[in-house]
């Protein structure tokens, strides 16, 4: 388990770099990362910074209406970014092709992952983000 503090938005790139180094060292074979946080806490904002740290060439945006966005990295790999807020159940997520993405061996960043719990791999990385009263964000990675 690791904790990363994000003091402000101007420090988010540093946090993304630290996060990426940690998961590549501690979870070298894990590709599925779920983000557990409330509305407006900064899941998408952090995922944008993380994609930048990974060398994503595409513009990163919230997949709220498309459910999943695919981004191409400079090294030719893909990153899949899910927003499952509008998905009602596992069957609906499966119909959107979630299982194929999750087991593709590319990184998958999943916001609002609850409907996917039954099909997530055992080595999923769980990231909790909490907002403190002073506006700082605390990320706990396990």
Residue-wise pLDDT tens digits, 38-90: 998 999 999 999 999 999 998 888 877 778 999 999 999 999 999 999 899 99
Kindly report, residue by residue over 20-44, the tens digit of the pLDDT: 999 999 999 999 999 999 998 999 9
Share of the chain above pLDDT 70, in %: 99
Give the three-state DSSP class for 104.
Answer: coil
* CATH code given to domain 2-141: 3.40.50.300
- The sign of the dihedral angle between the CA atoms of 19, 22, 28, 34 is negative
Q: Is it the case that residue 9 has pLDDT exceeding 90?
A: no
Torsion angle in degrees (nearest 10) through CA of 41, 44, 48, 50: 70
Is residue 63 within 8 A of residue 89, CB to CB? The reply is: no
Furthest-apart CA pair in the chain: how many Å? 41
Query: What pLDDT is attached to residue 59?
Result: 84
- Tell whether the model's pLDDT for residue 115 goes beyond 80: yes
């Amino acid at each position: 388990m690791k904790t990363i503090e994000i003091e402000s938005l101007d420090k988010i790139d540093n946090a993304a770099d630290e996060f990426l180094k940690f998961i590549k060292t501690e979870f070298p074979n894990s590709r599925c990362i779920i983000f557990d946080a409330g509305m407006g806490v900064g899941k998408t904002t952090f995922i944008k910074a993380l994609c930048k740290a990974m060398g994503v060439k595409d513009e990163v945006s919230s997949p709220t209406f498309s459910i999943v966005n695919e981004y191409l990295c400079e090294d030719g790999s893909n990153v899949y970014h899910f927003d499952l807020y509008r998905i009602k159940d596992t069957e609906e997520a499966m119909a959107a092709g979630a299982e194929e993405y999750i087991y593709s061996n590319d990184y998958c960043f999943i916001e609002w992952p609850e409907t996917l719990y039954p099909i997530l791999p055992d080595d999923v990385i769980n990231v909790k983000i909490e907002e403190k009263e002073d506006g700082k964000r605390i990320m706990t990675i396990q």
